[in-house]
Every structure is written in C-alpha cells, then in structure tokens.
Structure 1
Amino acid sequence: MGKLIHVPNELIHPYFFPILKIEWEEEQSLNQQYPFHHEIAYYSEIPYIRPWETPEKSILILLTEWKSVKVELEQSISRGEKGKILTLMKRAIILLFEFLFWTNKTPVLFPMGTIHELKIKPMNCQERIEFILSKPSLYHAFVQLSELFNEQEKHFMKAQVLAKKIRE
C-alpha cells in the first residue's frame, strides 16, 4: 500500500487528473498507474528517475512506445472501437507531452501556455494540442497527433545533430 499524495500544482489538468489525490507506490520502479509519474515524483520532491535530463536515451524509449500505441490506435480506429480509441489516445497524448518537454530537457509542466516557452516544438503546437484534447476520439485528432510526433521527431534529431557539432 502506497502513500496518498496530492497531484502537484505543476501537473493539474482535468484531462489527466480528474482526481487530485493519488496513491504513490514507493517500491515501483515505474509507477505507470498515473500519467507523468516521473514529474509527479520530481514536483513532489520524491527521489526518482529524471528522463528529461538524458533525452538522447529517454526519447528513443518514448518513440518506441509511441509506435506501438500508434499501431494499436490504427487497428482500433479501423474497427471503430470508441472506448479503446479514447484510452489509447490518452496514452498517446501523454507520450506527446513527455516527448515535447523532455526534448527541451525539462519536466512536463502545465498550464498549456508553457508550451509556447519551449524552444524545440512544431509550428502551432499549442493550438494543435488543444484541438486534440477537445476531441480525442475524432480521426482528425489522431492524424494531428501523428503529425506532431513526426514533426517533433525531426526537430529532436536536428537538435541532436547540432548539439553534436557544437561538442566537436
């Protein structure tokens, strides 16, 4: 049995945390029960992994997970499985937020306006995410989400190449 903690103010968003108290399991290496578990620990001052400090490693893991979720989403969309689509879209949106913020070497942070402050991001990123969050079950939301992942991946790879050139 874990301890009950408040969702940190930095992560409060009704789409991800309709309930503001969660049970935190200290023993788990990855507390996947809640979104943004790395950030929950960070903002709650619980010692834990900080994947945004090593995006060159963590981003590859995120992209692998995204590709797996994307395949499941495509299958669920073709079958018209609305409930499953919403569950998978929520997981994919969480991955997108982690991808955006970790690429910028920072933990996920709300409100949505903080996206404007990120240096590495797709064009009109915040507006596009707001559309996805407003209608996550629409096919167009899935298309937009996929495009954001593709664009962010290109931006990330470009930033990695530039950082490598600077080090040389």
Structure 2
Amino acid sequence: MDNRFITLSVPPELKNGFFFSSDRIKMEMTERNLTDNFVYELLYYHGMDGWKPWENQEEAFLFLMDEWEVVKNQLEELYRNRDQNNARLAMKKGIGLFIQLLFWSNDLPVLLKEPIPSIPLVYQPVNLSERLAFIMSRPNLFHSFRQLSELIVEQEKLYVKKSILKKASRPNR
C-alpha cells in the first residue's frame, strides 16, 4: 500500500458535480500539491493539518500562476489542433486554478457551492458569476478558454492591487 495517497469524502463545502463526479476522492499527499485542485480545502474541511494557501498568498499566488502557464500552454496547443474533446479536461484544471486564485486572494478557502462564488468577495472580476457560468457550461469551446484567460488576468491585477494597498497600510518601521 502506498502511504502517499489518501481517500477522503468530498465535504459539503466542495460538492460540485463539475469538479467531483463521486463522493470520494483519492489524492496524493505531498508538501505542496497544486496539480490537484482543492487539495488544501479537502484537508481543511476535514479538520486535517495542511498548508493553508489562503494564509500564505504570496507563495500560493506564484504556484498558481506557474501552474496556469503550464495549463494555458496545453490549452493553446489543443485549440490550435482543434482538439476540443481533450481541451475539456485541461479547462477543468484551469477553471479550478482560477477559482483557487479567486478565493485565496480574498483570504478564504474555496467554497464550490453553486453559483460560484456563493458568497460576496471583495476582490473579484466584473460580472464574475455570469462569465464563470458560461465557461463551466461550455468548457470545451475556445471562447471559454479566452474568457478564462481574461478572468485570470483580471484577478491577478486585483491581487496585485490588494497587495500594494496592504503594504501601503503597514506602519513604517
């Protein structure tokens, strides 16, 4: 038996048929695992110890953006080859990365209750609910990929703005 893998039930906070097709998920336990979406939330909602990226935003932000570059390059290749069927899986990964970026940059663990976001977030792109609903309803379309890319750019800008405001509000030492 491989001790690096654990199986957990999907907690109510993450129940969303788009991301989880069953009530249980098997995941690899590593120090920093961003290859699987929502790993840290799964641990958190089960009361288990683990990294809390929403509390370590600078590091988490860099990991998310690096992972997005990999997924974005895969998607560009898939769409260039008009391979919409295989693009769906990569889009699911990219959408998950965006949702993590969205919640983590608002100092919160992800909540996947529908519609996403189910709670008001201070830092979020304009018309987020409608745009995200479109992307998730048609993830294999190139237009959905373009919209997801724009959402990530917009959220990245909001995160940077938040970081600058946070640093400016610190008292000088």
User: Same fold, TM exceeding 0.5?
Assistant: yes
Matching residue of 1:38: 40
1:131-142 alignment, distance < 5 Å: 131-142=134-145
Matching residue of 1:29: 31
TM-score (normalizing by structure 1)? 0.91
Q: Shift of residue 29 of structure 1?
A: 3.0
Task: Look up the SS of the partner of 1:117 in the other structure.
Answer: coil
Q: Which moved more, 1:79-88 or 1:35-44?
A: 79-88
Matching residue of 1:63: 65
Gaps of 5+ in 1: none
Q: Shift of residue 126 of structure 1?
A: 1.3
For residues 57 and 33 of structure 2, what CA distance do their matches in structure 1 show? 20
1:90 counterpart (84, 89, 92): 92
Matching residue of 1:75: 77
For residues 55 and 35 of structure 2, what CA distance do their matches in structure 1 show? 22
TM-score (normalizing by structure 2)? 0.89
Task: Look up the SS of the partner of 1:61 in the other structure.
Answer: helix
Q: CA RMSD in A?
A: 1.8
More helix by share: 1
Is the Cα contact below 8 Å between 2:84 and 2:141 reproduced in 1?
no
Gaps of 5+ in 2: none
Identity %: 37
Matching residue of 2:56: 54
